[in-house]
Amino acid sequence: MENAAQSSAKRVKRGAWGDNIRYTLDENGVLTLSGAGPMRDCVWNRDAEAYHAPWETERPEIARVVIQDGVTSLGEGAFCGCTALTSVTIPDSVGAIGAAAFRGCAALTSVVIPDGVTAIGKSAFSGCAALTSVVIPDGVSAIGKSAFSGCAALTELRIPDSVTRIETFAFLACTGLTSVALPDSVSALGWGAFYRCAALRAVKLPGGLTELEDDLFAGCVQLSRITIPGGVRKIGAFAFYGCAALTSIAIPDSVTAIGQSAFAGCAALTEIQFPDGLSQIAERLFCDCAALTHIAIPDGVTRVDGGAFEGCAALTDVLIPDSVRVIGERAFYDSASLTHIAIPDSVTEMGEFAFGLCAGLRSVRLPRRLSVIADGAFFWCAALTSVDIPDSVSNIRRNAFSGCTALTEARVPSGAEVSKYAFPAAVRLRRGA
C-alpha cells in the first residue's frame, strides 16, 4: 500500500507496462509499479543508445522506485539511466533482476536484494558509482557479467554460499573494494571478474577452482597476498598483471599452464615458486618485475618465450635447466643486474635481443649446439669482457655484440659469417682455435 505522502502526491504519469504491470509516477519522482507476474523487458534503442520504457523521458527525474508485492521479476533495462534514483524497494516476490535493470543509477547508495532472487543479470547494477552496500541473498547462484562493474564506492562484499559462478567483469573497477572472501561453493570466476579493483588488498580464493581466468586480478595495485588453491591447473594471461604490491607467489604443482604477462608489472615481487609440471615460460610472464632477484626455471620447461623476464632490473641469478630448447626474443632484455649466465647446450635457438641491455653482464656461456647468434642478442652488454663462441655457430648477425664496450677480443669459428656491426669496431676477432 502507498503511504500518506505517496498518496497525497500528484500523479503526473500512469499507465500499463505489458498486460500485467501498472505504474504511476508522482510529482516527487516516486515511481510505483504494481501487478502480478514478470515485468516486461525494455527494448534497446540503438539510435538513442538507451532502453525504451514508458517512463523513458522521465528517467532523470525518478528519485525513488517502489515495486509492490506480486511483481516477480525486474525487466531488462527497467531503470537504466535513472541518475537521480537514491532508493529502491524490492519485494520478496521478485525472483530475478534483469540485465542492466539499474545500470547507470549513479546516485543509488544501497540496495537490499530480497531472499527470493536467484539470478542477477548482466550489468544489473553497473555504473552505480555511489553504491556503498549491497546484500546478496543466499538463493543467488550466479552473479552476471559486469553486474556490479564501476561500483566505485562499494567497500566490502559478502558472497553467499549459494553462488557457484561469478561472471566476466562482475566487479570490474570497483575501486573502493578492499577485501573479498569467496565461499567454497564458487567453482568459476569469469574473465576479469576483479579487474582494476585498485584498493583490493586480500582475497580468499575457494578451493574448488581449477582455472584463474585472463585478467582476473589485473590492475589490483594494492593486492599484497593471495593463495592459489591446489586444484588450479591454469593461470590465464594477465591474471595478476600490474599487481604492484604482491611480494611473493607460490604456484601449486597442479598448475601446468600460465598465460602471457600473468605476473608482468608485479614490481614488488621478490620470489616465485614454480610448479614442477610447467613446460613453458610464457611471453612477458614476469616482464618489469623489478624486485625479482632469483629465478630457478624448473626441469621440464622447453621454452622461455619473448620478454619473459624483460626489465627485471634486480635479477642477479638465473638457473636455466637443460630441458630448455628455445630462449625467445628479449627474454632477459634490460635485466641490468644479471652478471653471469650459463646457457645449457640443449638450447638451439636464441631470439633477437635475448640478453640485450643487460648492462651488468660480465660473462656468458653459449650453448654448443647454437647455430645463429641473433640480431642484438647481447646488444649493449657494456660490462661483457669475454665471449667464447662455439664451433656450432655459423652466423653472427647484425648488432649481436654491438655496444659491448668492455669487449676487446672474441674467438669466432673459422667458417662463421660475421655480419657488419656484429661487434664494436675495436674488438679483435680471432678465427678458429
Distance, in Å, from the CA atom of 356 to the CA atom of 403, rounded to the nearest integer, reads 10
Asked whether this chain's domains 1-119 and 279-433 adopt the same fold, the reply is: yes
User: Domain 1-119 falls in which CATH fold?
Assistant: 3.80.10
Q: Over its length of 433 residues, how does the chain's per-residue pLDDT go in tens digits?
A: 455 444 555 667 999 999 999 999 999 999 999 999 999 999 887 766 778 899 988 999 999 999 999 999 999 999 999 999 999 999 999 999 999 999 999 999 999 999 999 999 999 999 999 999 898 999 999 999 999 999 999 998 889 999 999 999 999 999 999 988 899 999 999 999 999 999 999 888 999 999 999 999 999 999 998 999 999 999 999 999 999 999 988 899 999 999 999 999 999 999 898 999 999 999 999 999 999 999 999 999 999 999 999 999 999 999 999 999 999 999 999 999 999 999 999 999 999 999 999 999 999 999 999 999 999 999 999 999 989 899 999 999 999 999 999 999 999 999 999 999 999 999 999 987 6
What's the grid cell of residue 196? 582494476
pLDDT of residue 5: 47
What's the grid cell of residue 271? 620470489
Residue with cell 585472463: 214
pLDDT of residue 202: 87
CB < 8 Å & 24+ apart, contacts of 418-424: 419/395, 422/373, 422/396, 422/397, 422/398, 423/396
pLDDT of residue 433: 64
Is domain 279-433 classified as CATH 3.80.10.10?
Answer: yes
pLDDT of residue 10: 66
SS3 4: helix
Find the Cα–Cα–Cα–Cα dihedral 254, 259, 261, 263, rounded to 10°. -10
CB under 8 Å to 388, separation ≥6 — which residues?
A: 365, 366, 411
Distance of CA 287 to the CA centre of its chain: 15
Phi, psi of 268 (to 5 degrees): -100, 0
Q: What is the domain partition of the chain in residue ranges?
A: 1-119, 279-433
Q: How many residues are listed for the chain in this entry?
A: 433
pLDDT of residue 225: 87
